[in-house]
């Protein structure tokens, strides 16, 4: 339980480029909820986007909103009815809580629930705060050998896992991952953990491609200035055959075109990156070669498996973290995430009081 003197310092986005630190009330858990003393929160590109632009598509920040949706922490109070957690448990918080009633929830596709409440997607507050209240069934208990930072990284890792599941990756797959940002890198890690025998990663940044190689990519291509069709031939040569599965994690038009040209006939191409709302694509090429083009939106039923992968050492997400800040230094953290200064990939904010 928080002490009577405790405060609830939070990083609140008021309007475009207006991020402030302020004290907010400490929230109390209702039935089937837990209060969590937040420890670590990773900054995601969408947090930076809300800060810089005030909106993502139809989601517009109209009232002050706490940022952050990649959290881990310690259970500090229990609401009525909570059975599977106790005070002091270390947890990763899955930030999207669906209605549990609609068709999509019942079908297990709860990421598509129209009534989902997702941390730091307006109008819902995020987790860059000392104390946060969340649905207990969307808090995943961490074993002792999984750190709070790794717990926070289960969020992007779940995106990568969902992408790999939708891409039908299996033992022996040859895979193309476009984009070596955090999402491309976790997709590459998941693909390898799920048995892919060869993964090639693209980017326009040599430093990011070096990180991809250091983290296990079998080959990398700097795509800068090259045509998608010529690049597809390069990908196929490097993989020694066309990829069964391709996962696009940059959102760039040219990269989506490459994904269609490169993917093996009968294979699967998954779109993760969110770029322009409308893109010109060689769809007939996909049609005549029966390349399935699929999108993903966040993830469903991925946290438990992502946690198992980390706990058993099948994936090592730690190298993603390049910068660490405290909650008090959130503005500096966001500036680093925005500029990518110092080779920033994943910027982590420590929200706990102790180091």
Residues that bind ligand NAD (CB under 6 A): 45, 159, 178-184, 202-205, 208, 223, 249-252, 254-255, 272-274, 296-298
98 binds, among ligand NAD, Zn ion, none (CB under 5 to 8 A by kind): Zn ion
From CA 244, how far away is CA 337, in angstroms rounded? 33
274 binds, among ligand NAD, Zn ion, none (CB under 5 to 8 A by kind): ligand NAD
Nearest residue to ligand NAD, by Cβ distance, number only: 181
Q: Least distance from C-beta 324 to ligand NAD, angstroms? A: 18
From residue 235, give the alpha-carbon distance in Å to each of 1, 38, 279, 308: 54, 42, 22, 31
Q: What is the residue-wise DSSP string for 118-165?
A: ETTSTTS--S-BSEEEEEGGGEEEPPTTS-HHHHHHHHHHHHHHHHHH
**CA-closest candidate to residue 83, choices 158, 137, 46, 132:** 137
121 binds, among Zn ion, ligand NAD, none (CB under 5 to 8 A by kind): none
DSSP letter at 95?
-
Burial class (CB in 10 A: 0-12, 13-18, 19+), 141: middle
Q: Least distance from C-beta 222 to ligand NAD, angstroms? A: 9
Q: Least distance from C-beta 203 to ligand NAD, angstroms? A: 4
Q: Which is nearer to ligand NAD, 46 or 326 (CB)?
A: 46
Q: Which is nearer to ligand NAD, 35 or 250 (CB)?
A: 250
Name the residues that contact Zn ion, by CB under 5 A.
Answer: 98-99, 102, 105, 113
Q: Least distance from C-beta 163 to ligand NAD, angstroms? A: 8
307 binds, among ligand NAD, Zn ion, none (CB under 5 to 8 A by kind): none
54 binds, among ligand NAD, Zn ion, none (CB under 5 to 8 A by kind): none
**Over 15-60, what HEC string results?**
ECCEEEEEECCCCCCCCCEEEEEEEEEECCHHHHHHHHHCEECCEE
Q: Which is nearer to ligand NAD, 75 or 302 (CB)?
A: 302
Categorise residue 251: left if φ over 0, alpha if ψ from -120 to 50, beta otherwise. left
Q: Least distance from C-beta 97 to Zn ion, angstroms? A: 10
* Contact assessment for residue 255 and residue 248, using Cβ atoms and an 8 Å cutoff: yes
- Helix (H) or strand (E) run with residue 96 in it: strand 96-97
203 binds, among ligand NAD, Zn ion, none (CB under 5 to 8 A by kind): ligand NAD
Q: 């680093």: which residue's tokens?
A: 336
* Contact assessment for residue 248 and residue 256, using Cβ atoms and an 8 Å cutoff: yes
249 binds, among Zn ion, ligand NAD, none (CB under 5 to 8 A by kind): ligand NAD
Q: Which is nearer to Zn ion, 117 or 285 (CB)?
A: 117
Nearest residue to Zn ion, by Cβ distance, number only: 113
Q: Which is nearer to Zn ion, 74 or 102 (CB)?
A: 102
Q: Least distance from C-beta 138 to Zn ion, angstroms? A: 13
């Amino acid at each position: 339980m928080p002490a009577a003197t405790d405060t609830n310092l939070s990083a609140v986005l008021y309007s475009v480029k207006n991020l402030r630190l302020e004290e907010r009330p400490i929230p109390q858990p209702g039935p089937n909820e837990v209060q969590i003393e937040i420890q670590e929160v990773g900054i995601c590109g969408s947090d930076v986007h809300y800060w810089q632009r005030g909106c993502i598509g139809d989601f517009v920040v109209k009232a002050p909103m706490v940022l952050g949706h990649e959290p881990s922490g310690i259970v500090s109070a229990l609401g009525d009815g909570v059975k599977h957690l106790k005070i002091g448990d270390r947890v990763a918080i899955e930030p999207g809580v669906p209605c549990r009633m609609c068709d999509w929830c019942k079908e297990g596709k709860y990421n598509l629930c129209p009534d989902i409440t997702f941390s730091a997607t307006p109008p819902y507050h995020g987790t860059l705060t000392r104390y946060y209240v969340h649905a207990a069934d969307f808090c995943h208990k961490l074993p002792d050998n999984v750190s709070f930072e790794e717990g926070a990284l289960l969020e992007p890792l779940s995106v990568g896992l969902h992408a790999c599941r939708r891409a039908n990756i299996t033992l022996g797959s040859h895979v193309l991952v476009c984009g070596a940002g955090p999402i491309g890198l976790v997709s590459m890690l998941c693909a390898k953990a799920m048995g892919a025998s060869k993964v090639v990663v693209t980017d326009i940044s040599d430093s990011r491609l070096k990180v991809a190689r250091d983290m296990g990519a079998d080959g990398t291509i700097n795509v800068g200035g090259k045509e998608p069709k010529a690049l597809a031939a390069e990908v196929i040569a490097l993989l020694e055959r066309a990829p069964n599965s391709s996962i696009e994690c940059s959102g760039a038009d040219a990269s989506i075109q490459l994904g269609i040209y490169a993917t093996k006939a009968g294979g699967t191409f998954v779109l993760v990156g969110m770029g322009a709302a409308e893109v010109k694509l060689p769809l007939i090429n996909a049609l005549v070669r029966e390349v399935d083009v699929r999108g993903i939106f966040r993830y469903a039923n991925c946290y438990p498996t992502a946690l198992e992968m980390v706990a058993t050492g099948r994936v090592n997400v730690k190298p993603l973290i390049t910068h660490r800040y405290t909650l008090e230094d959130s503005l500096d953290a966001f500036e680093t995430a925005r500029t990518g200064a110092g080779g920033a990939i994943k910027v982590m904010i420590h929200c706990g009081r102790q180091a």
